[in-house]
Structure formats: structure tokens, C-alpha cells
Structure 1
Amino acid sequence: MSINCARVAALTFAAAAISAGIGIAPASAQSRTVVYEVTGSGTVYSIDLDPGGRIPEDTAAPFTQTVSIGPDVALLQVVVVTKTGSQGCRITLDGTVVAEQAPGDAAHCIAYL
């Protein structure tokens, strides 16, 4: 009987904590939305997104990729190596442009959070 009482007490406390929001960060602190953009025209040798990975060769511009990041991410960047045409880049964090470069021979956008 004492085990069941302890279990009920623990579950009651956990439910109260959850409903009160104790120990739970707001959704905005948990994840943010990053939009990486390659602007301009032509094709690329490579697009590297940090965080986000590598995009295959011969991807055409313009290009957009959206990723969700956690609160521990301190750096965002996109590196574009031009194959044909002219490309630039832009990084948007939760709807705000945090880095941008006009189209040229190559592009590198970086934002420190």
C-alpha cells in the first residue's frame, strides 16, 4: 500500500509541475527555424550548410532549405561554391535576416548567435 501511495504522490507532483510549466522551457527557447537561401542563378559545385549538411553538386540556384535548430546552436553558415552563373546567400532566423551576401563568384554567409 505504501508503494502505491508514493507512486500516486510522485505522479501527482509531476502532473502539477507540468501543468504549472515548472522545468519546461518555452517552445521558442527549445527550437528555432533557420532558412538557408542561395540566391542568383546557375548551378553550384557545392552548398554546405552548418548545421544542415551538404547539398549535392549541380544544384540549381535559387535554392532554399529550412531546418530547425536547438538552443545550443551558436553558429549558422552557408558556403556556396559557384559552378555556373552567379550566386549569393541569405540566412534567416525566425523570420529575421541575420546574414546576407549579394551574388558573385562564390558566397559565404555566417551568423554568430
Structure 2
Amino acid sequence: MKWLQAIPKRWLPWLIGGAFALLALTLTPTLMRHDTVVQIRVSHAGAPMPDGFYLYQQLTAQGIRIKSITPSGDALVIHFESEEQSLAAQKVLRRLLPQGFIVAQYDQAERQSLA
């Protein structure tokens, strides 16, 4: 800690400001990142939803990284870290799930603005 005492006091505000600026630049992409969301719904009322754990296993086996899978009312919502992962997952899910399931991109920002 002797090196800390060797720093001139007039530099301290600049060093603290620089540290905060560096922290802000580091965290901004993470905080501003927009999750990509895919929603799976059944096309007929009363049909069972697919098993989320099964879908997780199948997508992971294809190299698709999933942030989360959660039930939401009459749908299953899957969060991805990137648009590429989401698009790849949509292709796999359309091939994997039988007829009667709707797999679609889901825009969270649009839904939040409607609420």
C-alpha cells in the first residue's frame, strides 16, 4: 500500500474519475444488451406445452446457449444471449416440435411498452 501513498493528492480525483469511467465503459455493453427471446405457444387450446428440460437438452446438444426457459401463461419463453443463438434455436425448435406449436421471436420491449 506504500505505492498508494506515493500518488500526489491532486491526482486522486482524476484517478477515481478514471476508474469510474473505465467501470462504466466495461459494464455498459452488458447492461445495454438486449436479450433475444423466443416464445413457444400451442395453436389449439388445451394442448400440453413441451417439456422445458427436454428442449434445453436438445438445444444445448446443438451448441445453442440458453440463458433461461420459463413458463409464462400459455407459453414457454426462452431467453438467449444473442440474435444468432435465437435464430439457430428457432430452426431447431421448428424441426424438433410437432405440428401444433408456434415458435416465434418475441420482442420484450414492445410488450413492455404496451403494458
TM-score bin (small chain): 0.3 to 0.5
Relative to its length, the structure with more strand (as a share) is 1
- Flag the structure with more relative contact order, 1 or 2, with Cα contacts below 8 A and sequence separation at least 6: 2
TM-score (norm 2): 0.44
Relative to its length, the structure with more helix (as a share) is 2
